[in-house]
Structure 1
Amino acid sequence: MHAVIHAPPPESCTLGADIRALRKARGLTLSGLGETLGRSVGWLSQVERDKSEPSISDLRYIASALDVSVSSLFRSEAPEHEQGLIVRGDARRPIGSRPAGLVEELLSPDLTDDFEMVHSTFESGAEITEEVMRPTQEVGYIVSGKLDLWIAGKTHSLNAGDSFRIRGEAFRWMNPYALPCVVIWVIAPPVY
């Protein structure tokens, strides 16, 4: 006997669903985000349910309030039969607020799952000097290159093929090496 797996409903593959997922991942209520944006709960609810389309200015404010790039809220035009299922290599959405030297792209079709997959490229010389701490569980796999990673005050030098886990600990990273480092991250709950 085979289990029947259904595709996600179309509404899970929308701008509104992504905004709702990001808002919830940050522990914000509709009224809290609405207040930050200077907009009503009703308007924000309609945006999240795709009943109202936000303007570009609204998207800038929403992205800023949710600490993501505006471009991460735009979707690529995938064929209908692939929407919510497939992300082509040349159609990944750029995500996150990028420190110099870090390029991140969403590998997940959208932000409505319990986790997200991210493709990160750390350029040679890139680093963050301030520790990051988020209420997440994260696992990373070094695809190529090398990366120095500090987790809870301990230094780890990682090479291609190595993996790591961060569970809400403070961390920071640096790529002091000559080549870029490519990392695949799985983050739960989604933060981008």
Structure 2
Amino acid sequence: MVANAAGHPREAVEPESIAEHQDEELELGQQIRALRKIKGLTLQHIADEVGVSTGYLSQIERNRSRLPIGVLKKIANVLGVQLSWFFQPGVIGPAEEREFIVRAGRRRKMSFTGTGISEELLSPNLNGPLEVLLSTIAPGADSDFYSHDGAEAGLVIRGVMDLWIGDKAFRLEKGDSFSFPSTTPHRCANPGSEPTEIVWVITPPHY
């Protein structure tokens, strides 16, 4: 992953009302719970930050209570995501596939304002021990150095990428792969003239 841990703001298209997204609303509670678990946050912490009761938040996570858009905005802020994370038309697949399969046309997409970096989530969900991303780095884009818990690996499937791991620098081309502990400060950039694409695997999930 090349941008989220660095704290770059995501572009967001905010819906005016949850009522306009009935299909997605059925999954909101599960999405909130998955993100909360990944962040290591308790129901009590989220409830205190948002200003609601833990009982109400628990009902939301189990899709048993209506969720006003104002409350969802506050929850998203505490979880460190934009509302666009929850409202992406078509990302929810058939019930029998949701835990196992991500169709090419149903990937959850994330972009990072002003960085030239975008990502698509290839993992079916964020409940497992790892996440898989397709990262696209525009020509000249640079992630800057950052570090976080866990480990990561990847495979360059298009273009060229400069990768720094600590004080070591490498140039990777299509077909090259890598792996390193995420606690080591790392950085990646695209020195080429066409977009670079990398399949990135991170454990534990970081979104």
Both proteins in one fold, TM over 0.5 = yes
Per-residue deviation at 1:99?
Answer: 5.2
**Number of the residue aligned with 1:18:** 31
Decide which of 102, 108, 112 is 1:93's aligned counterpart.
108
CA distance in 2, matches of 1:53, 1:44: 10
Would you say the 8 A contact 2:38–2:127 is kept in 1?
no
Per-residue deviation at 1:182?
Answer: 0.5
Output aligned runs, 1:146-161, within 5 Å. 146-161=160-175
Per-residue deviation at 1:89?
Answer: 1.0
- Relative to the length of structure 1, the TM-score reads 0.82
Secondary structure in structure 2 of the residue aligned to 1:82: coil
CA distance in 2, matches of 1:105, 1:164: 19
Would you say the 8 A contact 1:68–1:95 is kept in 2?
no
Distance 1:117 1:174, change over 3 A: same
Residue identity matched to 2:146: V
Gaps of 5+ in 1: 1-12
Decide which of 145, 149, 156 is 2:159's aligned counterpart.
145
Distance 1:18 1:97, change over 3 A: farther
CA distance in 2, matches of 1:175, 1:28: 35
Secondary structure in structure 1 of the residue aligned to 2:118: strand
Residue identity matched to 2:152: E
Compute the RMSD of aligned alpha carbons: 2.2
CA distance in 2, matches of 1:67, 1:144: 30
Gaps of 5+ in 2: 1-25
Would you say the 8 A contact 1:34–1:44 is kept in 2?
yes
CA distance in 2, matches of 1:156, 1:172: 11
Output aligned runs, 1:107-186, within 5 Å. 107-129=122-144, 131-167=145-181, 168-186=183-201
Per-residue deviation at 1:54?
Answer: 2.6
Decide which of 36, 49, 74 is 1:36's aligned counterpart.
49
CA distance in 1, matches of 2:72, 2:180: 31
Would you say the 8 A contact 2:38–2:126 is kept in 1?
no
Secondary structure in structure 2 of the residue aligned to 1:164: strand
Higher relative contact order (CA 8 A, sep 6+): 2
**Number of the residue aligned with 2:202:** 187
Secondary structure in structure 2 of the residue aligned to 1:156: strand
Residue identity matched to 1:43: Y
Q: Which moved more, 1:143-152 or 1:65-74?
A: 65-74
Distance 1:44 1:182, change over 3 A: same
CA distance in 1, matches of 2:164, 2:75: 31
Secondary structure in structure 2 of the residue aligned to 1:32: helix
Secondary structure in structure 2 of the residue aligned to 1:18: helix
Would you say the 8 A contact 2:60–2:66 is kept in 1?
yes
- Relative to the length of structure 2, the TM-score reads 0.76
Distance 1:27 1:96, change over 3 A: farther
Would you say the 8 A contact 1:105–1:118 is kept in 2?
yes
Per-residue deviation at 1:97?
Answer: 4.9
Secondary structure in structure 2 of the residue aligned to 1:141: strand
**Number of the residue aligned with 1:4:** none
